[in-house]
Amino acid sequence: MIEDYFKPARMKLSTLTDYVEKFIASYSDKSKETQGTYQRTLREFVTFFSADRQFQFRVKDVERYKKHLHTTKKMQDVSVAAYMTSLRRLCQYLVESGVIEKNPAKGIQGGRRPIAHARTFLTLNDIELLLNSIEEDTATGLRDKALILTMLGCACAELELTHAEVGDLKKVESLWILNVQGKGKSIKDEPVRVPKATYDALEKYLTNRGKDIPEDSPLFLSYSNRAQGKSMSIRGIRETISVRLKNSNVKRGRDLKLTPFSLRHTAGILMAELGATPEEIMKRMRIEWRPTAMLYFRQKGKLRSEDSPITADLVSVEMNK
């Protein structure tokens, strides 16, 4: 059996805790969110290690931990996948540090990956209905339209938009790009091409805010009483878009299936229908796992956007060169 090739490695709890701390410290160049994820998920492993008292970094030990996540903790597949990824990377760190010979978690998959997204997408009619419902004679309306088109056209996530500043929008040769801070990153090193419809909306919104806006000013301002003038929070972005989806009658009873994430989901399908490759979609959407990008190709054709006159302005398939 494969486990026979893994030499048992006994370890004290205090020693494991020390290695976990060093492993997390090795990700100091990553975002606080990434470090926090490792702290949270590996805390469960340390707890299991302490109670189990049999974990010796063999394949059967890793399988026992995975079963614990499923049966004792009653985690869903997507959560088990995240916890197993953390353990897999910790074990690889131990291999590279010379503590264990091989990674016992390398060949063990996490929870089953979804074959389709839990959220639905917006049709082209939905998109037009949503955009046409937003007033353009108020600062809030201009902001919300630019916000929605940035999520749709640049496939941005809420977290990326909370970090976005005015100076991140730049013109490179003849193209406009938005430098974003991707998931798990601590710097804005992901240039994303801004489609025409998105840029037009951003230009109107920023022009309305006045001249000489400081480059470090939030790209999307909050207009709430408590956070006036600050960057919109993730919660604020979600609430804003949810209200717009509801008021435009786009939701139509799809409260749980049609969410702010649906804008990013729709962008992926649009790009697939317009001829983007999986690699191009991975680059545009900051996706690291190819099967995730392939989920969009499984829904290719549902929007039938190829011949629509509005599609080219909404999402460009000419990726960042």
pLDDT given for residue 320 in this prediction: 40
Please give the single-letter amino acid code of residue 270.
Answer: L
Total structural domains within the chain: 2
Is 216 within the bounds of a domain? yes
pLDDT given for residue 299 in this prediction: 81
CATH of the domain at 246: 1.10.443.10
pTM score of the predicted model: 0.66
Residues 90, 129, single domain; the answer is no
Residues 211, 62, single domain; the answer is no
Question: Is 215 buried (19+), middle (13-18) or exposed (0-12) by CB count in 10 A?
Answer: exposed
DSSP H helix total and E strand total for the chain: 13, 3
DSSP codes, 57-82: S-HHHHHHHHHIIIIIS---HHHHHH
The CA distance from 284 to 32, in Å, is 23
Question: Is 213 buried (19+), middle (13-18) or exposed (0-12) by CB count in 10 A?
Answer: middle
Q: Give residues with Cβ within 8 angstroms of 165, minimum separation 6.
A: 215, 216, 217, 218, 219
- The sign of the dihedral angle between the CA atoms of 204, 205, 210, 213 is negative
Q: Give residues with Cβ within 8 angstroms of 266, minimum separation 6.
A: 121, 122, 127, 152, 303
Which regions in the chain score pLDDT beneath 70?
1-5, 110-119, 183-184, 255-256, 306-307, 309-310, 312, 316-321
Biggest CA-to-CA distance, the chain: 70
Where on the phi/psi map is residue 184: left (φ > 0), alpha (ψ -120 to 50), or beta? Answer: left
Q: Give residues with Cβ within 8 angstroms of 25, minimum separation 6.
A: none
Residues 271, 130, single domain; the answer is yes
Domain that holds residue 15: 2-96
Structure-token match 């990326």, residue found: 160
Is 119 within the bounds of a domain? no
Q: Are strands 190-193 and 175-180 parallel, antiparallel or unpaired?
A: antiparallel
Residues 85, 135, single domain; the answer is no
pLDDT given for residue 319 in this prediction: 43
Q: What confidence tens digit (pLDDT) does each residue in 169-182 have? A: 999 988 999 999 87
- The sign of the dihedral angle between the CA atoms of 67, 69, 71, 75 is negative
Map residue 52 onto helix, strand or coil: helix
Is 283 within the bounds of a domain? yes
Is 156 within the bounds of a domain? yes
Q: How many CA atoms lie within 13 A of 116 on its CB side?
A: 8
Residues 26, 134, single domain; the answer is no
The CA distance from 122 to 264, in Å, is 10
Note whether 198 and 317 are within 8 A (CB). no
Note whether 115 and 298 are within 8 A (CB). yes
The CA distance from 15 to 228, in Å, is 48
The CA-atom distances, in angstroms, between 217 and each of 190, 197, 212, 254 are 19, 22, 11, 35
Residues 149, 289, single domain; the answer is yes
Residues 295, 192, single domain; the answer is yes
Which of 61, 76, 88, 64 minimizes the C-alpha distance to 112?
76
Residues 56, 154, single domain; the answer is no
